[in-house]
Amino acid sequence: MPTPNDEQYLLDNDKAFPSHSQAMSQPNLARQKMVTGLGTRLNALILLLVYTLGLGSGYLVWGRSPASVIKTSPEASASSDPSSYPTSEPIPKPAAPANRNILPADYTLPVSFDDIGPQLLAAGAIDYERFLQIYRQAGQPLTEDQLAILTEGSAAPVIINRENAYFLLNFFWALGLTNRNILLTEGPMRQYSEGNIGRFASTGGWAIGVKPATELYASTPLITLTPEQQARLEKVASAIYRPCCNNPTAFPDCNHGMAMLGLLELMAAQDATPDEMFEAAKYANTFWFPQQSFEIAIFFKTTKGQDFAEIDARELVGANISSGSGFRTVHQWLVMNNLLEQTPNNGSRCGV
């Protein structure tokens, strides 16, 4: 039987791991045991249909519909009038944006890589040769700059675009997983692990380290934060969501959440402001969830006349829009109003 360290186990991660909601809820675990072979096959067909309709990909890989387990923070709730959010009622004759290139081509984050790459290699978080092989097999061999980031570090700012989003997702996933932080040692990941920290997508799914993910988990103080920086990190992380589930970054149970945690930790250490951290999350999600971000951009342009750059970052990454349930509501509204006749590529899966 494959283990979390085997590549075949990684390829079969949708079968090997519980969903975000299943990992959190005993009732869900009980219901899972009641599913028959026929029910499983029917469910797989339903999920495939959902995927083709553009309902996101993160929760497709890991299981069923997400379930909220973390209360929304005041930051996440501090958005505009709820009437501005999509409802079951269509608006009269909505007009889709004329320009389909409504997402940015790149974004420069107010943070540098520093020496995180060499630290990750030294900690065993990344198996250098396997890491290179993953990207060669994906047809995206690492560039000289990316190799330097890994082996030498870099004082250059982090620039995210379509070409390097995959590299940055795994780079920051390794950082979030390995760095010792109270959010991992005492937070929801521990609280809901039931004594098995490897049961989450963000832990069991990391199979390209020198050490097993369960040994890497919160094992090395790569980034040390002051009490003020830690408080800022926790406040922001509790208000930033991702479309693959209903959990905030403070509960990083999938690769996107763990990568976002790593990015926010690095930003907090370099004294980024909360506004800068929310803005960074807005644009990181844009490249890690291109399909969902495209639809969200259409929604804001249609309902508020706002270009993507004009959207308030706190509102965009909050639970009402960027959680799994929030995005599904946006998607359903767009479908109801015939605004999805053209879409870009699909979103990212919760795996390496």
Q: What b-and-e string marks burial along 35-71, b requiring 16 or more CB atoms within 10 Å of the CB?
A: eeeeeeeeeeeebeebbeebbbbbbbbbbbbbbbbbe
Helix (H) or strand (E) holding 108, with range, is: strand 106-114
Residue 160: both structure tokens together: 């995210």
CB-facing half-sphere around the CA of 318: CA atoms within 13 A = 18
Residue 6: both structure tokens together: 């085997």
**Distance (Å, whole) CA 63 – CA 54:** 16
Q: What are phi and psi of 122, to 5 degrees?
A: -65, -35
Q: What are phi and psi of 178, to 5 degrees?
A: -90, -35
At residue 103, the pLDDT reads 95
157 bridge partner residues: 112
Q: Which domain covers residue 135, as residue numbers?
A: 1-352
Which of 94-98, 170-174, 177-181, 323-327 shows the lowest per-residue confidence on average (mean pLDDT)? 94-98
Q: Provide the domain count of the chain.
A: 1
Residue 351's pLDDT band, with cuts at 50, 70 and 90, is low
Residue 261: both structure tokens together: 């945690």
* Cβ(285)–Cβ(198) below 8 Å: no
pTM across the whole model:
0.76
Q: Report the percent of the chain where pLDDT is more than 90.
A: 67
CA distances from 174 to 20, 220, 330 (A): 19, 11, 31
The type of residue at 349 is R
Contacts of 335 (CB under 8 A, 6+ apart): 53
Residue 26: both structure tokens together: 């005993």
pLDDT digits (tens, 9 = 90+) for 97-123: 545 579 999 999 999 999 999 999 999
Nearest to 165 by CA among 114, 115, 105, 238: 105
